[in-house]
Amino acid sequence: MVTLKQLCNRLAGELRLTRDDIAVPATPLSGVHISELTDPTPYLEGGELLLTTGIPITGAPLEAVDAYVERLVDKKIAALGLGLGEGADEVSPALLEACERRGLPLLLVPRAVPFMHVSRGYWELVGKTEQSEIASRVGLQLALSTAATRAHPTEAILGSLAQGLGGWAAYVPADGSTETVWPVGARELMPQLRLEMARFSRVETISSATFPLNGADVVEHSIMVGRRRVGYLAVGSGRRLQKADRQLILTSCMLLSLTVQRAQDGSRAEAKLAATVATLLFTGHIAAARVVLTELPALRVGAFARVLAVRGEGTAGLNASELALAVAALAGVPQWLELSVARSPIRCVIDGTIFVVLDDGESARKGESGSVDIGRPTTTAALGTAVPLERLSVVLADLDRACRGGTPGSLTVLAAADVQATGWIETLAAQPRGDLVETVRVYLAHRGNWERAARQLGIHRNSLRNRIALASELIGADLDDPDSAAHLWLALRAD
């Protein structure tokens, strides 16, 4: 907006204050109006530079001059300009005293300077100012659009908006999750802001509101995705917002809505891919699952994993965070289990049972077999031990059985299996000679007695020795060692 100071500077000596010892104020001007009426205020809106030749007050008594100036001040006229040479040749002391007493700037337009020249100077400045403001707003709109394409679009959008308005901006999700604020120092306003938003959220039909906060107005808008309110944009600028400012805010609302919708679409796509990974793992297609995992770094699974099985009314429809909250509400459940469930979107539902793959990097902790009270009477859960990914498909049946047969409101922790011994069995079973697993089982059952083991297998003792030597070589362990034999024997019984 053009100011009185800018106009005086542009017109130089053609428009000046009556006193040279004071500075021209930078009062915003809404226009230049010319009137010789005794009361021109009905034709004014306020903020104008009023130009007159002095006819309304020339020769008027002091009371009339004072009333004239009072009417202009009440109308909030920016300044009074007196043109010399027509109605007055000099400034009357009464007018000068009345203007100084009421704080109304009094300017002089020298003889032979047309009022139209002053008016033209104003509109030339308006044209240049509007062009500058348009360029500025276009630049800000472009900055907002660019911000929406960055890695962290919400923070970038708020930063561009706050800087453009010279204030602060905040996005508060409707689900109660952490808000985003720019600049960071404005975060101290969040407790008060959330109280105002709580009142705002009770009225579904209101999409925007303005309310005072710490002595300044805050503008708040709902962020919608479709017909659902997903959050709120709050903006504080510390000054009166112009039409262009509000356009920037509306643009930011649109971009935030698109950002939230894009994030939701991405989450749904990631959930589908995570379910695909879970299906591949549980059906034994480990190589294919690893290919998908390499393309999705957010889905983290190491060489070993545990599986949590959950059954209960309504549990199949819960997302990862909701399922984690349900687990957290179950008394006696270790904290690491809650965190692992929240961090793992790799899950699928088979015949009503949810199977969640938990990365063993943090959660592999050996637990005692048994059960702990969960506190949800309709829910049962079972937690398996850490196994290689290749073994996940094998443990599902045991987990599902434990989950279905478990006490409602309890978590069953399956006994830890010997992972190394389980791997030995798989190595023996994978050999072309399909009798190695049975040979080792019988040999261990007879506690290394060659004669009895060979007799039960129906083979010669030397053949038994050859098979046991081959088995020991394949698994890299001595079957006559008590520790190795004990681990392998328990794994064979479990298998």
Residue pLDDT, tens place only, 23-37: 888 888 888 999 989
Which of 11-20, 124-133, 439-448 has the weakest average pLDDT?
Answer: 124-133
pLDDT value of residue 363? 45
Handedness of CA 141, 144, 149, 150 (dihedral sign): positive
Instruction: Compute the distance between CA of residue 357 and CA of residue 137 in angstroms, rounded to an integer.
Output: 50
Contact 316, 362 (CB under 8 A): no
pLDDT value of residue 202? 63
Q: Please state, as a whole number, how many other Cβ atoms lie within 10 Å of the Cβ of residue 340.
A: 24
Under the banding of pLDDT at 50, 70 and 90, the label for residue 226 is confident
Residue 371 pLDDT greater than 50, yes or no: no
Q: Which long-range contacts (CB under 8 A, 24 or more apart) does 36-43 make?
A: 36/87, 38/64, 38/68, 39/68, 39/71, 41/71, 41/72, 41/74, 41/75
pLDDT value of residue 251? 87
**pLDDT tens per residue, range 99-113:** 999 999 999 988 888
Contact 220, 196 (CB under 8 A): yes
Q: Choose between 426 and 155: higher pLDDT.
A: 155
pLDDT value of residue 132? 53
Residue spans per domain, the chain = 4-123, 148-263, 300-413, 419-494
pLDDT value of residue 203? 59
Which of 174-183, 230-239, 421-430 has the weakest average pLDDT?
Answer: 421-430
pLDDT value of residue 235? 92
Contact 105, 4 (CB under 8 A): yes
pLDDT value of residue 21? 77
Handedness of CA 93, 99, 102, 103 (dihedral sign): negative
Q: What is the mean pLDDT of the chain?
A: 81
Which of 147-156, 287-296, 438-447 has the weakest average pLDDT?
Answer: 287-296
Residue 130 pLDDT greater than 60, yes or no: no
Under the banding of pLDDT at 50, 70 and 90, the label for residue 123 is confident
Q: Choose between 361 and 55: higher pLDDT.
A: 55
pLDDT value of residue 48? 92
**pLDDT tens per residue, range 299-328:** 677 777 888 888 888 777 777 777 777 777
pLDDT value of residue 418? 56
Q: Choose between 422 and 473: higher pLDDT.
A: 473
Closest among 464, 421, 470, 472 to 480, alpha carbons compared:
472
Positions of E strands within 237-288:
none
Provide the phi-psi class of 47: left if phi over 0, else alpha when psi is between -120 and 50, else beta: left
Please provide the CATH number assigned to the domain covering 148-263: 3.30.450.40
pLDDT value of residue 416? 56
CATH topology assigned to domain 419-494: Arc Repressor Mutant, subunit A (1.10.10)
Please tell me what DSSP assigns to residue 240. P
Q: Does domain 4-123 have CATH number 3.40.50.150?
A: no
Dihedrals phi, psi of 358, to nearest 5 degrees: -105, 125
Residue 45 pLDDT greater than 70, yes or no: yes
Under the banding of pLDDT at 50, 70 and 90, the label for residue 59 is confident
Please tell me whether residue 238 adopts helix, strand or coil conformation.
coil
pLDDT value of residue 171? 93
Q: Choose between 196 and 8: higher pLDDT.
A: 8
Residue 436 pLDDT greater than 60, yes or no: yes
Q: Choose between 244 and 65: higher pLDDT.
A: 65
Average pLDDT over residues 79-88: 82
Average pLDDT over residues 357-378: 52
Under the banding of pLDDT at 50, 70 and 90, the label for residue 98 is very high
Which of 60-64, 335-339, 361-365, 415-419 has the weakest average pLDDT?
Answer: 361-365
Residue 169 pLDDT greater than 90, yes or no: yes
Average pLDDT over residues 455-482: 88
pLDDT value of residue 105? 92
Contact 83, 52 (CB under 8 A): yes
Dihedrals phi, psi of 166, to nearest 5 degrees: 70, 35
Residue 331 pLDDT greater than 70, yes or no: no
Instruction: Compute the distance between CA of residue 412 and CA of residue 368 in angstroms, rounded to an integer.
Output: 10
pLDDT value of residue 374? 42
Most confident of 89-103, 124-138, 303-317: 89-103
Structure tokens at 16: 């000046």
pLDDT value of residue 233? 92
Under the banding of pLDDT at 50, 70 and 90, the label for residue 64 is very high
pLDDT value of residue 50? 93
